[in-house]
Amino acid sequence: MNTYDVAVIGAGATGASIAWQLLHYNLKVALLDRCADASFGVSKANSGIVHGGFHHSADSTLKAKLELEGNPMFDDLQKELDFEFVRCGILVVAYSDEELPQLQKLYERGVGNKVPGIEMCDRKRLLELEPKLTDAAVAGFFVPQGGVIEPYGYVFALVESAELNGVEFWR
């Protein structure tokens, strides 16, 4: 009978990340999933967005705090695990004057969260960043540290590294 110090349930983005992190400790870890392979559950529908840190207040939600701390980690993680990752930035756009208060609220939240490089943009700057933007665009802001990953590749890279380093993956 196998015994483990930790059993991680679910081999999606969260479970794979936890199992990969636990391999850095002197623990016997099992990663368990009911599906045929990693990332076949909820993570198969993951958008792959590496968020910029402006949706929620870092003072009020753990999600925002972890988003802000985790975002810069993707550069080193990508180098170590070799998954597809592009730091393309995030452009948030208002398409009418009625949307400007919500745009301002998100921008101010990003500033309050100390999001690096967040930039309010007029229409001219928006078109410099995205020349094919619709004529309806009024204003927006840009968050350069936002990015995208290929979700399956990300999860598989985490699980493969974890397995190579002693985590047992049970499917």
Q: Is 51 a catalytic residue?
A: yes
Q: List the structure tokens of 93.
A: 């756009």
Q: How far apart are CA 56 and CA 64, in angstroms?
A: 5
Which member of 24, 51, 55, 56 is catalytic? Answer: 51
SS3 at position 88: coil
Q: Helical H runs in the chain?
A: 13-22, 62-70, 73-81, 100-112, 123-129, 151-164
- Spell out the residues 6+ positions from residue 71 whose beta carbon is closer than 8 angstroms to its own: 50, 51, 52, 53, 145, 146, 147
Enumerate the active-site residues: 51
